[in-house]
Amino acid sequence: MPNLEQTFGALADPTRLAVTRLLLDAPRSSGEIAEALSTTRPAMSRHLRVLRRAGLVEERADPGDARVRVYRLRQAPFEDMRAWLDEVEAFWQQQLAAFRDYAESNPREPSPGPKGKAR
Query: 66 or 8, which is more confident?
Result: 8
Task: Please report the sign of the dihedral spanned by the C-alpha atoms of residue 84, residue 87, residue 93, residue 95.
Answer: negative
pTM of the model: 0.73
- Residue 9 confidence (pLDDT) above 90: yes
Q: What is the pLDDT of residues 25-51, one digit of tens each?
A: 999 999 999 999 999 999 999 999 999
In which band, very low, low, confident or very high, does the pLDDT at 1 lie, cut at 50, 70 and 90? very low
The count of C-alpha atoms lying within 13 angstroms of the C-alpha of 48, restricted to the half-sphere facing its C-beta, is 26
Find the mean pLDDT for residues 76-95.
Answer: 92
- For the chain, domains (ranges, CATH) are 1-105 (1.10.10.10)
- Per-residue pLDDT, averaged over 75-83, amounts to 92
CB neighbour class for 105 (10 Å; exposed up to 12, middle 13-18, buried from 19): exposed
Instruction: Grade residue 15 by pLDDT with cuts at 50, 70 and 90.
Output: very high
Confidence of residue 109 (pLDDT cuts 50, 70, 90): confident
> Where residue 2 falls among pLDDT bands split at 50, 70, 90?
low
